[in-house]
Every structure is written in C-alpha cells, then in structure tokens.
C-alpha cells in the first residue's frame, strides 16, 4: 500500500478525523484525545497507531507524558495529489462557463 493509500485509509474513520481536528489546535495526550470521543483506551490506542503508521501524527516524549502532534508532511502529500485534479476541475468549469455563455447568448437571439 502506498503512503497516500495509508493516509486516506487513516482518514477514512470519523474518530481518527476527530483526533486530527483536535490536534490541529495543538499537541495532546492520549487521555485528552480520548475524552471527547467517549471510546475505550484500547480503541484510542489503535486509532493513534493507524494515524502514526500513516505518518499523520507523531509522538513526543515529555517525562512520563507522550503528547501527539500533527505531521504536516502528510497533508502536503494530500494537497499535491489534489492539485493534479484541481487543474482538471478548473478546465471543466471553464468549459462549462463557456457553454453556459453560448446557451445564454443563443437564447437572447431567439426573441
């Protein structure tokens, strides 16, 4: 499985997306990430492992605490992948705009 596949797999779960949303505001410990989700300790640990294996988060050691943080490189990879399609979508929208203008103009001449 490619890195991008791992990233999208990791982001496919709503609990993992909630973890990412929380980490977007700063580093957090496992208990801080677990609390709003109302899931068990083993469950949050599995979710964090999936996110870490995908390179989306990392763990820092601060004494006995192990806060997690977002790894921006994973999101750069997603953005670069999406950029390929943004250009295609932009061209399609331009063609649609051109078509709609032609339809509008032809409708104005029918009166």
CATH code where residue 46 lies: 1.10.10.10
Residue 42: its pLDDT value, please?
A: 95
Band the pLDDT of 108: cuts 50, 70, 90.
confident
Asked whether residue 111 carries a pLDDT value surpassing 60, the answer given is: no
Residue 110: its pLDDT value, please?
A: 64
Asked whether residue 5 carries a pLDDT value surpassing 90, the answer given is: yes
Band the pLDDT of 109: cuts 50, 70, 90.
low
Determine the structural domain holding residue 68 and report its residue range. 3-109
Task: Give the number of domains in the chain.
Answer: 1
Mean pLDDT for the chain overall:
92
Asked whether residue 1 carries a pLDDT value surpassing 90, the answer given is: no
Asked whether residue 107 carries a pLDDT value surpassing 90, the answer given is: no
Asked whether residue 33 carries a pLDDT value surpassing 70, the answer given is: yes
CB-based contacts of 41-48 (< 8 A; 24+ apart in sequence): 43/15, 44/15, 44/19, 47/13, 47/15, 47/16, 47/19, 48/19
């Amino acid at each position: 499985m490619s890195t991008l596949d791992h990233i999208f797999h990791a982001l496919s779960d709503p609990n993992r997306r909630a973890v990412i949303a929380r980490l977007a505001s700063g580093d957090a410990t496992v208990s801080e990430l677990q609390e709003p989700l109302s899931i068990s300790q083993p469950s949050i640990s599995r979710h964090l492992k999936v996110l870490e294996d995908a390179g989306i988060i990392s763990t820092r050691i601060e004494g006995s605490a192990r806060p997690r943080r977002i790894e921006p490189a994973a999101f750069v990879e997603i953005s670069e992948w999406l950029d390929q399609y943004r250009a295609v979508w932009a061209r399609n929208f331009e063609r649609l705009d051109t078509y709609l203008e032609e339809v509008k103009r032809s409708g104005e001449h029918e009166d």
